[in-house]
Chains A and B, each alone.
Chain A
Amino acid sequence: MQKEYLGEFEELVLTMVGILQEDAYGNAIVNEIIERVGRKVNLSAVHVTLYRLEDKGYVKSSMGGATNARGGRRKRIFTITNAGLAMLRAKKEQQVQLWKLVPQLKITG
């Protein structure tokens, strides 16, 4: 079961990869997280997490285009795999299930 464990930060990054689609590389993910969640994260942390996700098979990477801003260096584009998608879905369902068990109406006295 070790392999299927997904940490909170890993889940966040994996979701961002899913969101960004063809444009998911290190810097873009960092910016996306700031924009959507308002959380300032470290570039190196994102990279390390991406590689770990790749090891687990939830994302795969390929070298993409270069831009002038990068001094001609290519980007490593990450795309979410089916396993990654399934993992995200399972996570979400699990959360929903758990959420359902929480009494929704709380009477404060």
Chain B
Amino acid sequence: MNNKPPGYALRFLEWYCPPYLHESIEGDLVEQFQNDLLQVGSRKARLYFTLNVLKFFRPSILFRNKFSNSFFQNTMFRNYIKIAFRTLWRAKAHSLINVLGLGLGIMCCILISLFVRDELTFDTFHSKANRIFRVYGKEDWGEKQQFLYTVTPFPMGPALKDNLPEVEQQVRIKNIDSHVKIGESLFNETVAVVGQHFFDVFDFELLTGVRAHALSGQSNVVLSKRMADKYFGTSDPINKIVSIQLGEQFEEFTVKAVADNPPTNSSIQFDILISDLNLSKLYNKELLTSSWFNIIPETYILLQDGAGAPAVEKKFPSLFKTIIGEEEFKKSKYAPGLQPITDIHLNTSFPAGIAQVSNPKYSYVLMAIAGLILFVACINFVTLSIGRSMQRAKEVGIRKVVGALRTQLIAQFIGEAVIVTFIALIIGVGLSLLNLPLFNELAGKQLLFSFNKFTLLLIVFLLMIIGLISGCYPALILSSFKPITILKGSAQAGNERQRVRKILVGVQLILSIFLISSTLLMREQLSYLQNKNMGFDKEQLMVVQLNAPRTGGMIKRVAAGFETAEKFKTELANFPNIISVCAASHDFGNGVWVRLGYTDEKKAYRTFNMNVVDENYIPAMKMELKNGRNFSEKVPSDKRRSVIVNEAFAKEYGWKDAIGKKIPGSKFNDHEIIGVVKDFNYASLYTKVQPLVLVEDPSIIFSGIENVNVDNSPIPKLLIRLKPIDMQASIDHVHKTWDKLDSEGEFSFSFVDQAMANQYRSDQNLGKIVSIAALLAIIIGSLGLYALASLAMQSRIKEISIRKVMGATENSLLVLLSKEYVMLIVVCLVVSVPVTWYFMSNWLSTFEYHVSIGVGIFIGAGAISLLIAGATISYQTLKTVWTNPVNSLKHE
């Protein structure tokens, strides 16, 4: 016999019943239960009890709860806020450290979230983004000879659309560098020749003009807003005439629409759009209709709703077999595929097409940095709160005695953390607004901060997360105090808590040391990149792009360019501040040189780069010949049949002595290798030096190759070595010569060392961001350390005084007080070494040529952190050591 009402029913009643009604209701129920017990027996009585409890579970009882959450009882809530502000105000220094630290952390988070969001949302603004694909080409020659191309043959788009029902629309995009004439003014511009359905497939907005007709006519042109403003200012651009040079002539176009500037997170950027009906003026008919091995434009296709890309890709082989013939298809190993448009921006395995590709690693690194800095700031909050817990212990004691529940105290302290976070948030938002331009410059973006759904969500998220992370542990600690020990005055900060605090400070130190050593190492690597011997002299080397007539094939135009170069050379040679002048198809730091591929006599596919140069090139660049000789004016056959290769080339073929040999392909014109030049870095230091051929006449080589990949115009450039005095005069002189010899084109020049430095810009920016992050981490961390030291010293002041009275020297006291901090730093240094090692060797491995991670870095980082930490705590230590013992002991 069970004579008690069922426990679960009692608990259920307690749970839902308003507290002030609970006792009497339960009493009545129990009383009835006792009656039932006598009348119907225990089993039924228990059943009735349960049923009755359920009967009380009704709205008119439940709503008497008024849902007055015990967390937010009105009067107490006001008291909490009042107390929160009082405590903040009382410990101004600590509050300031907390708020500033968190503010800096929040700033990092906001800025980096904007960046990452921009990166991740690239191209997603197109409403049909999930159906738009870029056609790419893949050639697989086996043995690591796989090539991906993001450009396609001209007939690709139309062929796909005509033969595959799944392809709803196709748009080809080809950017050409051209001249634009508005009235009498001439501009150098990039003009995009795009499919007529450009605006049907992509969602770029039109400000004026009709979407359907914007590009339907051959003489229509669409301008971006910035271009319309540049050309026509405030007047209405519609129906104005714009002349664009296509081929040799200028053609007149009528502005039919103005498009809003493409969003910054769009891979496709444009300023001037004309329709692909104009292609016939730029390329011959064969290229446009039947040439399947000249890849020129990018092709985008829009698939039908529901058509999957893999299914469409499966149809490609049979389609191309019929179009280009089985034989050719097999030989070329040509395998096109489809890449989703949203994949373009962050997929680094494809070469950059018309759009820049960015490494997603950059986003991850930034996110990690933001997280770390925020974490360091949160740790500050936690350590300071725990450190100050003794001061608040009495408050907790009193509250508990008066009847506060633990949950209420926890809510109170978390609430205080949220208040601090909120203030920090305001500061953080302010700081990020202030620093956004600087950040944009570092990240190479045009980000905007506006209060939209994303930023508001972010802010709320940060508020919750930081409030919880930084509030939780202190809340648990503070609320766990036993009132009796506190109020008796015997409470002591336990060892346990000291240890937690030390671990937290240690984590901060580890992060700081990690960031400091990363900064040092990145600096070392970046300066190594600047100063490494490239195999040629890049200083005071000026580059002037020559113009070549837009007629004839590429080889003819290159040759014409060299003829122009000869004229310049004779003109410029007399100027005293010019050391030497030479001409070459490619300069340095501006992308990949022409890459050529052929199948050698052993049926192996080989690739090499090529540069067309003159006989001045090697001496003017201060390159060294390993053996053989340079091109010479005295040997007329050099211009026809002589070739110079680099060491990497000779190595690739395993030649000990390359002189007199021939490139082992059957179709090359008659030629002979006359010299081997020592390897020089003509690409960036990210990659190894590839096999290279230098020639005076490119037709020797062109006759024997199967594959050409031209990323940069091979139209010759003048390379002019200046004396390092009065550079401006030299530049002016070159300009004058230019005006004399070539009045048509625009004079533009650059310097090789700057162009080469630009190659590493994204890593330089990364380096800057990491050093800023290190600086912030150090600032926040040392603020925390300072505050912590001050608390630790306060609690030891009596001990120190007694030691002094007993005769301890100041030096021994200093050692005593600093010992544990020094130990802490040493331990953290040791822990941070493998972390740094891992991440930094990862980063360094992206460079073919890099420094090695030395012990010096860590010693440096350790010294810096010791110094900073020492400076931070020394003030507190000295203050403590120098106090007069009388002052701190007289109260006892």
Contacts and interface: CB of A to CB of B under 8 A. Distances in A.
Contacts of B29: 43
Contact of B28 (A25, A48, A51, A63): A25
B31 A69 contact: yes
Contacts of A63: 23-24
A87 B58 CA distance: 27
B95 to A, nearest CB: 46
Interface stretch (A3-11, A72-80, A101-109): A72-80
A27 B32 contact: yes
Interface residues of B, number: 19
Contacts of A25: 24, 28
A26 B374 CA distance: 58
How many of chain A's residues touch chain B, expressed as a range? Answer: 20 to 34
Given A52-B60, A69-B34, A47 B25 contact: yes
Contacts of B30: 69-71, 73
A41 to B, nearest CB: 12
Given A42-B55, A74-B23, A47 B34 contact: no
Interface string A35-78: 00000001110011001100000000001001101110111100
Q: Name the residue in B21, B60, B61 with the highest tally of chain A Cβ atoms < 10 Å from its Cβ.
A: B60
B753 interface: no
A42 B28 CA distance: 12
A73 B52 contact: no
Contacts of A51: 21, 60-61, 64
Contacts of B28: 25-27, 43, 47, 70, 75
B56 interface: yes
Max chain B Cβ within 10 angstroms of own Cβ: one of A73, A75, A76: A73
B251 interface: no
A43 B31 CA distance: 11
Nearest to B10: A71
Interface in B76-106: none
A25 B24 CA distance: 9
A20 B30 CA distance: 21
Contact of B24 (A30, A48, A67, A73): A73
Of B23, B28, B29, which is in contact with the most chain A CB atoms at under 10 Å from its CB?
Answer: B28
Contact of A44 (B24, B26, B27, B58): B58
Nearest to A55: B64
A52 B60 CA distance: 9
Contact of B27 (A30, A48, A52, A66): A66
Contacts of A27: 28, 31-32
Given A43-B52, A69-B30, A26 B24 contact: yes
Nearest to A71: B30
Interface of B: 21, 23-32, 34, 52, 55-56, 58, 60-61, 64
27 contacts: A25-B24, A26-B24, A30-B32, A43-B32, A43-B55, A44-B55, A44-B61, A47-B21, A47-B56, A51-B21, A51-B60, A51-B61, A52-B60, A63-B23, A66-B27, A69-B34, A70-B27, A70-B31, A71-B27, A71-B30, A73-B23, A73-B24, A73-B26, A73-B30, A74-B23, A74-B24, A75-B24
Interface of A: 25-27, 30, 42-44, 47-48, 51-52, 63, 66-67, 69-71, 73-76
The 4 closest A-B pairs by CB, nearest first: A73-B27, A76-B24, A26-B28, A70-B27
